[in-house]
């Protein structure tokens, strides 16, 4: 009946059973219980201090809420769909237990500012955790870079062998992406970490509340400045989902490379058995399930971003029930990103690289052609002419089924009289890599410096 609803006063008919289920959010917002109780304790404490409700009531409320918290954590709390959401489930139980004092808790507050508070409290803790997971993955990348500091592999453009690079340099490329991802999360935290409570339903409250005090109790460095915006702003959630999408795109690129590198065609890396599964029909198979799943999960995280953006698009101020739909994409993104980061950090740390195979691949595909051109430039030939000379040399190699390192000095000299015996030392894989010494280059000394820098930055 309408009478069991906290808002039942103006209703004469009970809610339709299906509508009740359709409008309820308790099945997914119950995970906000801790934040909801923490927020209510702070709100009640402030109400008492301001003389808005009696201090005995505050004591009863705080004790009652703590008991409810224990019950929920022990799995002894019956969540009811007819009480719609986590806020009303907790408040109704509180009033059941402590009577009138419980019914005073919602003074000067609305579910609209309450839910905005709960999500911000929730996301802010998750952001800190996610940043810690990013750090763990960064640690694994540094570990691999240091373990394999001078391993040479082919660098690719268009997925065609381009120039030799250090495998450690390739690992540090992902480190750069993850550092930016971390910065985006940190930045998102700044805007999430603002107290919206005190906005009431939309216009503020007639009671002499002290929002700054509540902010202090809940560890918020700032309070929101406009009540309408406080209850209708979900920018922080959209920002988080956007930052997460970018992060997942990075992980999907890394996944793709690991999948490719662990094929029998590449054999650059061997993923630990604990991150792979077999095939039920083909006995020889070891499938890279983890990177494949991470690559796949990028889709749902991108989908969650689009869901949230579409949800908020064109919504008039201030609160609209549509906004109840913000939670599932947000929670799913949090869970997915955390899971992917966690599994990736362990997988990367345990992956084994195959230096011989990488080097062999790096030596093929005319990977040092640019080094020959650069050699000619140092001998006084303009770069464009040098490019042409090397192009012809490569053609000669293709026609004679050989690779650049196999050319004799006499053959080199067919293409340019400037080429001397010192050519051989300038086109080894090591020379090619180590010549790229400018900031950001793949030279060993450069990569070592970047690893040191990354370690310092933590
Ligand atoms: N369950 C609601 C949500 O998630 C809480 C706020 C409801 N406010 C309201 N006026 N119906 O958004």
Looking at the fold, whether 225 and 339 belong to one and the same domain comes out as yes
Global pTM reads: 0.94
Determine whether the shortest distance from the Cβ of 85 to ligand 1 is under 6 A.
Answer: yes
C-alpha of residue 324 to centroid of ligand 1, in Å: 6
The CATH number of the domain holding residue 376 is 1.10.40.30
DSSP 198: T
Q: Domain boundary at 107, 139, 162, which?
A: 107
Looking at the fold, whether 12 and 59 belong to one and the same domain comes out as yes
**Atom 2 of ligand 1, residue of closest alpha carbon:** 324
The CATH number of the domain holding residue 36 is 1.10.275.10
Looking at the fold, whether 171 and 288 belong to one and the same domain comes out as yes
Looking at the fold, whether 131 and 188 belong to one and the same domain comes out as yes
Atom of ligand 1 minimally distant from the CA of 29: 4
C-alpha of residue 415 to centroid of ligand 1, in Å: 77
- Of 197, 204, 15, 212, the C-alpha closest to 121 is 197
Looking at the fold, whether 264 and 410 belong to one and the same domain comes out as no
Q: Which of 95, 168, 279, 387 is catalytic?
A: 279
C-alpha of residue 169 to centroid of ligand 1, in Å: 49
Looking at the fold, whether 119 and 209 belong to one and the same domain comes out as yes
Distances (CA, A) of 376 to 409, 423, 441: 14, 9, 21
Has 87 been annotated as catalytic? no
**Atom 3 of ligand 1, residue of closest alpha carbon:** 324
Burial 150-168 (b: 16+ CB within 10 A, else e): ebbbbbbeeeebbbbbbbb
Per the structure, how many domains does the chain have? 3
- The preferred substitution site among 112, 114, 312 for testing ligand 1, maximizing ligand atoms within 8 Å of CB, is 112
Structural domain of 449? 363-456
What is the predicted pLDDT for the residue at 9?
81
Determine whether the shortest distance from the Cβ of 113 to ligand 1 is under 6 A.
Answer: no
Distances (CA, A) of 68 to 65, 94, 99, 150: 5, 8, 14, 58
Q: Which tokens sit at 35?
A: 């934040």
C-alpha of residue 196 to centroid of ligand 1, in Å: 14
Looking at the fold, whether 168 and 302 belong to one and the same domain comes out as yes
Determine whether the shortest distance from the Cβ of 111 to ligand 1 is under 6 A.
Answer: yes
- The preferred substitution site among 40, 81, 115, 312 for testing ligand 1, maximizing ligand atoms within 8 Å of CB, is 115
Measured CA to CA, the distance from residue 254 to residue 137 in angstroms comes to: 12
Which residues, 6+ apart, have CB-to-CB distance to 77 below 8 Å?
Answer: 68, 71, 89, 93
Has 158 been annotated as catalytic? yes
What is the predicted pLDDT for the residue at 14?
82
Looking at the fold, whether 292 and 424 belong to one and the same domain comes out as no
- The preferred substitution site among 92, 324, 326 for testing ligand 1, maximizing ligand atoms within 8 Å of CB, is 324
Q: How far from each other are the two terminal CA atoms of the chain, in whole angstroms?
A: 58
Determine whether the shortest distance from the Cβ of 89 to ligand 1 is under 6 A.
Answer: no
Q: Domain boundary at 337, 360, 383, which?
A: 360
C-alpha of residue 226 to centroid of ligand 1, in Å: 19
Determine whether the shortest distance from the Cβ of 232 to ligand 1 is under 6 A.
Answer: no
Using alpha carbons only, give the angle 77, 92, 324 rounded to the nearest 5 degrees.
85
Using alpha carbons only, give the angle 174, 176, 180 rounded to the nearest 5 degrees.
115
Determine whether the shortest distance from the Cβ of 321 to ligand 1 is under 6 A.
Answer: yes
Determine whether the shortest distance from the Cβ of 117 to ligand 1 is under 6 A.
Answer: no
Looking at the fold, whether 94 and 156 belong to one and the same domain comes out as no
What is the predicted pLDDT for the residue at 55?
97
Answer whether 343's CB lies under 8 Å from 294's CB: yes
Looking at the fold, whether 78 and 140 belong to one and the same domain comes out as no
- What is the tens place of the pLDDT at every residue in 46-73? 999 999 999 999 999 999 999 999 999 9
What is the predicted pLDDT for the residue at 53?
98
C-alpha of residue 128 to centroid of ligand 1, in Å: 26
What is the predicted pLDDT for the residue at 3?
53
Which residues, 6+ apart, have CB-to-CB distance to 167 below 8 Å?
Answer: 144, 145, 148, 151, 152, 153, 353, 355, 358
The CATH number of the domain holding residue 138 is 1.20.200.10
- What is the tens place of the pLDDT at every residue in 411-457? 999 999 999 999 999 999 999 999 999 999 999 999 999 999 999 98
Looking at the fold, whether 273 and 127 belong to one and the same domain comes out as yes
Q: Which residues of the chain have pLDDT under 70?
A: 1-3
Q: Which tokens sit at 204?
A: 């503020």
Q: Domain boundary at 107, 134, 162, which?
A: 107
What is the predicted pLDDT for the residue at 2?
47
Looking at the fold, whether 315 and 242 belong to one and the same domain comes out as yes
- Listed in sequence order, the DSSP H helices in 262-354 are 289-312, 327-350
Torsion of CA 117, 122, 125, 126, to 10 degrees: -140
Measured CA to CA, the distance from residue 243 to residue 192 in angstroms comes to: 13
């Amino acid at each position: 009946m309408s009478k069991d609803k906290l808002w039942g006063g103006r209703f004469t008919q009970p809610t339709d059973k299906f509508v009740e289920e359709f409008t309820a959010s308790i099945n997914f917002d119950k995970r906000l219980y801790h934040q909801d109780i923490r927020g209510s304790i702070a709100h009640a404490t402030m109400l008492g201090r301001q003389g808005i409700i009696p201090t005995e009531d505050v004591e009863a409320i705080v004790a009652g809420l703590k008991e409810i918290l224990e019950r929920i954590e022990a799995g002894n709390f019956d969540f009811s769909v007819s009480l719609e959401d986590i806020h009303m489930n907790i408040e109704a139980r509180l009033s059941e237990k402590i009577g009138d004092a419980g019914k005073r808790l919602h003074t000067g507050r609305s579910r609209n500012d309450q839910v905005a508070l709960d999500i911000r409290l929730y996301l802010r803790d998750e952001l800190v955790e996610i940043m810690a997971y990013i750090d763990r993955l960064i640690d694994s990348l540094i570990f691999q870079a240091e373990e394999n500091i001078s391993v040479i592999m082919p660098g690719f453009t268009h997925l065609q062998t381009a120039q030799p690079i250090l495998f450690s340099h390739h690992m540090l490329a992902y480190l750069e992406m993850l550092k930016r991802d971390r910065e985006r999360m940190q930045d998102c935290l700044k805007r999430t970490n603002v107290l919206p409570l005190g906005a009431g339903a939309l216009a503020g409250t007639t009671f002499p509340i002290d929002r700054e005090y509540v902010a202090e109790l809940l560890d918020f460095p700032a309070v929101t400045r406009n009540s309408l915006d406080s209850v209708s702003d979900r920018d922080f959630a959209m920002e988080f989902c956007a930052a997460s999408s970018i992060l997942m795109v990075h992980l999907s690129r890394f996944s793709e490379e690991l999948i490719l590198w662990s094929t029998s065609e590449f054999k650059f890396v061997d993923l630990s058995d604990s991150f792979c599964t077999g095939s039920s029909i083909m006995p020889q198979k070891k499938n890279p399930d983890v990177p494949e799943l991470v690559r796949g999960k990028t889709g749902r995280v991108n989908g969650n971003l689009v869901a949230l953006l579409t949800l908020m698009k064109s919504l008039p101020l201030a609160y609209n029930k549509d906004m109840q739909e913000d939670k599932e994409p947000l929670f799913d993104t949090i869970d997915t990103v955390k899971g992917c980061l966690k599994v990736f950090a362990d997988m990367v740390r345990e992956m084994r690289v195959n230096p011989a195979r990488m080097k062999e691949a790096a030596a093929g595909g005319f990977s040092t052609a640019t080094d020959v051109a650069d050699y000619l430039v140092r001998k006084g030939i303009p770069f464009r002419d040098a490019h042409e000379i090397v192009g012809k040399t490569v053609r000669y190699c293709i026609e004679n089924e050989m690779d650049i390192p196999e050319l004799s000095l006499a053959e080199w000299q067919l293409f340019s009289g400037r080429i001397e015996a010192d050519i051989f030392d300038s086109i080894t894989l090591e020379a090619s890599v180590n010549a790229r010494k400018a900031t950001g280059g793949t030279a060993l000394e450069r990569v070592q410096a970047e690893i040191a820098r990354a370690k310092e930055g933590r």
